[in-house]
Amino acid sequence: MQFSRFYKNGQKIILRGLSPPIVAGRVESLTTYLQESASGHFDLMLPYGSPEGENYPFTPEMPFEILSDSMGLGLRMTGTFRELIGNDLIRLAVNGDIQVFQRRQHRRLNLTAGLRYTRGRGTLRSFREQWQKNLQILAKGGDGAKLARFPKAKVNLSAGGIRFSLKAPVEMADLCLLLLELDGLAPICVLAEVVWIQEKIVEGRQIAGLRFINMLEADERRIDDYIRQHAPKIEG
């Protein structure tokens, strides 16, 4: 199949894992950019600048859902990992089973929330491993006494991402390991990537939008429920 009708070089493509090492109940994704397409494969560039040892743990024949946009609609296709061509360049065998769908729009909410984060560049594997460790700690109860000491931050939040100000300079594809406290319960831990940056710097900080790339499905629902319950009260 020729994909030029739907996919162009440089097009942003989101990969979502479909099997182990992806664990059930977790949402994990990667941002990539199409470098070249052929009848049976895509060559995709990852933007994270990961040095040796920080690469995503791809395995032979690992299946992925391939998501993108064209003409205002979502595109969905499946494929499998074939090989690592360069440190940040991968080849996926694609199945050609293209489906067109209407993308879900997440409701957003401006609020003040407890927020802690660690930011890094090229730390994909390390941050992913730390995210998994944090989930284990939170599942065991964590340290509830520390929740009151979460710094407060003004954020714009959805189940798919978050916007807030970070210390400048901020770069595209910077990674942030976030702990978000919304409702006095255990914090939500997510791994996020910077997907847009406001150029203006105010008091040494820049506003950036981040997309969640690793999170629990339960936390995705929890954020959705929180926004649904609080939006009328906060935004009128």
Domain termination residue (choose one: 101, 120, 150): 101
* Within-domain flag for 83: yes
Pick the last residue of a domain from 73, 101, 129: 101
What the block records as the tokens of 57 is: 């743990």
231 shares a domain with 119: yes
d(CA 197, CA 208): 4
How would you write the pLDDT of the chain (236 residues) with one tens digit per residue? Answer: 667 788 999 999 999 988 766 678 999 999 999 999 988 999 999 999 989 889 899 999 999 999 999 878 899 999 999 999 988 999 999 999 999 988 777 899 999 999 999 999 999 999 999 999 999 998 887 654 454 578 999 999 999 999 999 999 999 999 999 999 997 778 999 999 999 999 999 999 999 999 999 999 999 999 999 999 987 654 44
Whether 153 and 192 share a structural domain? yes
Torsion angle of the four alpha carbons 78, 83, 84, 89, in this order, in degrees rounded to the nearest 10: -40
Question: Which residue, among 62, 175, 169, 163, has the nearest Cα to 113 in the 3D structure?
Answer: 163
Give strand pairing partners of 42.
37, 92
